[in-house]
Amino acid sequence: GDTLLLKDKRYVRLIGVDTPELHHTEIPVQFFAEEAYNFTKGLSEGKDCELEYEGQRLDSYGRTLAYVWLPEEICLNEEIIKRGYGYVYTRFPFSKMNSFIELERRSRQDQRGMWTHSPTDARVAGIIKRYELLNEEGKKQFDLLLDKLTMGDFPLKGTE
């Protein structure tokens, strides 16, 4: 959902966009990953595009970092965020970050894409996936902590 393969065989990683993982070597398929993949593919497949670069041209995996402009002046990066198929990737600064954050805020508010279900569905699904990856000791520790939280034995920050 956030990486494209161009006709010239280059991979392009969309600047400022993160989508739920579909093909990841270390984690299972995440909530709304297939929808994000299909949206990106449907909007971009077979279309000519222009790349807009910013700062570093390649990421650590050798993918080209760019904003992808589709016909009719559509910025694919913005569309994914605006329509709720991804969220803003803030790990590395980029010039359109504030604009993308506002697009995500509106997308959540308008309950578009992954935010249709509820603003917390994606987060809860992520927690469940991480839990499933824990070993038995990790699951035991997680369950103990969760029990303390739900029984009021563990003060939450700001409630002490």
Query: How many C-beta atoms surround the C-beta of residue 49 within 10 A?
Result: 18
Alpha helix (H) residue ranges in the chain: 33-44, 76-82, 97-109, 121-133, 136-150
Q: Active-site residue numbers?
A: 13, 21, 63
Which string of DSSP letters, residue by residue, matches 6-50?
-TTS-EEEETTEE---SS-SSSPPPTTHHHHHHHHHHHHTT---E
Q: Which residue has the tokens 């939450």?
A: 156
DSSP 154: S
Q: What would you measure as the largest C-alpha separation in the chain, in angstroms?
A: 58
In angstroms, rounded to a whole number, what is the distance separating the alpha carbons of residues 43 and 96? 21
Residue 102, token pair as written in the block: 């506002």
